[in-house]
Amino acid sequence: MNANQQLKIVAKTAAGLEDVLIEELKQLGVTDYEKGIRAVTFYGNKEMLYKANIWLRTANRLIVPFKEFSIKEFSIKDADDLYRQVKRIEWETIFDVDQTFAIDSTVFSPLFNHTKFPALKAKDAIADRFRSKFDKRPNVDPEKPDIRINLHISIDNRCTISLDSSGDPLFKRGYRDSRSLAPIKEDLAAGMILLSEWDKDSNFVDLFCGSGTLLIEAAMIANNIAPNINRAVFGFMNWKTFDEVLFNKVIDEALDEEIDFKHQIIGVDIDARVMGMSRANIEAAGLTDKITLFKKDFKDFKAPDKKGVIVSNPPYGERIGENVDDLYKAFGDNLKAQYDGWNAWLISSNMGALKKVGLRPSRKIKLFNGSLECRFMKYEMYKGTKKTHKLAKADENRQE
Ligand SMILES: C[S@@+](CC[C@H](N)C(=O)[O-])C[C@H]1O[C@@H](n2cnc3c(N)ncnc32)[C@H](O)[C@@H]1O
């Protein structure tokens, strides 16, 4: 893999975030891409691979199909054939015998009843190849391998082998305390903010901030901080093709791109314990001076003078006996009372409670919070009816 070789790279993402991911890729300068299901395939050189790993907020892994290492996709007849063909690959040009590896597999082929079996066959083939060359085999480490390999076998028995360039999933930015309750994943939080059409030149408020994920992601977006700038290890660092000088250049350039956000990023939550977690996470992300927290019921929080956007992930009422209808109603009433001119976005899996907000959403986007199907609703707040709003807008435009 030379520095200017164009690589095919598959960026995996969460359902519903594919278009946001494409926008992110375009911002990085990618021109050649193709939308898939929970994935976007794009083309770029090694520098782009490093950049994409550091910068993409809505991708959770970037994998590079093996073709890029001059190994073509191949068809298999049975498990032994898989073993033979995987053993033929020059694994020793990709990693050292002293490094650990793991294989994840996705298998649609009718040749196998269990997806784990082909992964086991491939693992044996790799180990035997090394043993035959060096009289020694690399160890398997399913938890924290140096080299993560993806094996995909299609329904018509075609095998694609890819290397995971990210290692740990990219949503693990490293700032979050794993003990947090019901947090939203970092990639979903970033995706929601990017979907919210926030201009990044006005205030950002989360009225149910919990452990602070939306606030941290918003602060990174507003200050143009690459979300994985501080990560110590990426999968590609363990490849023999790793170019440390190029990687350091990408990091230095990313640091230079930081900007100063002039408005406020505010988090409100009623729970003191959760607030403590939020404070710790914000500190771990190095964003303490960029985010303001209020331990309050959102009903008692006074809206900032200057307008902006609200993006929130309220409780969904999943706990037995918990009813959040009144909470959602109060949220709608509070928007009407205090947030004239703001846009508010709410994500929830509770469709009944969302109706209690009592406002007509101007957009509804289907997203998944873990396995929960949710709606991400946009409420545009303005005084009076839609008609008067439209007239006022037309007036504004005439005056400009
Ligand atoms: C689903 S959690 C938010 C999780 C958050 N997005 C995160 O990533 O950690 C909902 C939060 O709403 C807070 N909450 C519930 N009722 C509230 C109220 N009346 N005012 C402010 N916060 C409230 C809870 O304390 C909880 O932290």
pLDDT digits (tens, 9 = 90+) for 174-211: 998 766 566 899 999 999 999 999 999 999 999 999 99
Task: Give the pLDDT of residue 322.
Answer: 81
Atom of ligand 1 nearest to the CA of 213: 8
Atom of ligand 1 nearest to the CA of 210: 27
Q: Ligand 1, atom 1: nearest CA belongs to which residue? A: 315
Burial readout 32-45 (b: 16 or more C-beta within 10 A, e: otherwise): ebeeeeebbebebb
Q: Ligand 1, atom 3: nearest CA belongs to which residue? A: 210
Task: Give the pLDDT of residue 66.
Answer: 74
Task: Give me the amino acid identity at 396.
Answer: E
Q: How many CA atoms lie within 13 A of 157 on its CB side?
A: 11
- Rounded distance from Cα 269 to ligand 1 centre (Å): 6
Atom of ligand 1 nearest to the CA of 278: 9
- Rounded distance from Cα 182 to ligand 1 centre (Å): 9
Atom of ligand 1 nearest to the CA of 180: 9
* Interacting residues of 280 by C-beta distance below 8 A, sequence separation 6+: 177
Q: Ligand 1, atom 16: nearest CA belongs to which residue? A: 270
> Quick one: what percent of the chain has pLDDT higher than 70?
92
- Rounded distance from Cα 202 to ligand 1 centre (Å): 23
* Interacting residues of 305 by C-beta distance below 8 A, sequence separation 6+: none
The closest alpha carbon to 278, from 193, 327, 219, belongs to 219
Task: Give the pLDDT of residue 310.
Answer: 98
Contact 233, 298 (CB under 8 A): no
Tokens 């009718």 locate to 110
Q: Ligand 1, atom 17: nearest CA belongs to which residue? A: 270
Which of 269, 293, 311 to mutate to test ligand 1, by most ligand atoms within 8 A of the CB atom?
Answer: 269
- Rounded distance from Cα 331 to ligand 1 centre (Å): 12
- The distance from CA 356 to its chain's CA centroid, rounded to whole angstroms, is 30
Atom of ligand 1 nearest to the CA of 297: 20
Ligand 1 pocket list (CB less than 6 A)? 180, 182-184, 208, 210-211, 213-214, 268-271, 274, 297-298, 313-315, 327
Atom of ligand 1 nearest to the CA of 184: 8
Atom of ligand 1 nearest to the CA of 277: 9
pLDDT in tens, 18-54: 999 999 999 999 999 999 999 999 999 999 999 999 9
Task: Give the pLDDT of residue 183.
Answer: 84
Which segments of 318-387 are extended strands (E)? 343-348, 363-369, 372-380
Which tokens sit at 144?
């924290």
Which segments of 225-371 are extended strands (E)? 265-269, 292-295, 308-312, 343-348, 363-369
320 vs 206: CA distance, rounded Å = 25
244 vs 191: CA distance, rounded Å = 30
- Rounded distance from Cα 208 to ligand 1 centre (Å): 4
Q: Which segments in the chain show pLDDT lower than 70?
A: 1, 67-72, 178-182, 383-400
Domains in the chain (CATH in brackets) are 7-164 (3.30.2130.30), 186-224+260-391 (3.40.50.150)
Task: Give the pLDDT of residue 9.
Answer: 95
